[in-house]
Amino acid sequence: MAPARKATAARPRESTYWNTLGPALYRAGDWPDAIEALRKSNELDAKGTPGFNGYFLAMAHHRRGETLPAWIWFDIAGR
């Protein structure tokens, strides 16, 4: 996770670095920061498809007990 944090610090406008940090944070159990990183990735890559990020956003929201956002992101990711 440390390399992904360094990468986002060095190039904060690079969406793929945030896309890497988000799943790493999710896997570490830091769901709030994972959500923030994945949303930042989506924001920076507005023309991209949020599929990959969407699944991790759905899982992170689910872990936090946030059912509605989890289902919304799951649906978005499946498209």
12-78 topology per CATH = 1.25.40
SS (H, E, C) the chain: CHHHHHHHHHCCCCHHHHHHHHHHHHHCCCHHHHHHHHHHHHHHCCCCCCHHHHHHHHHHHHHCCCHHHHHHHHHHHHC
Mean pLDDT of 14-31: 96
pTM of this structure: 0.91
Domain boundaries, the chain: 12-78
Instruction: State yes or no: pLDDT of 42 exceeds 80.
Output: yes
What pLDDT score was predicted for residue 71?
98
What letter represents residue 49's amino acid? T
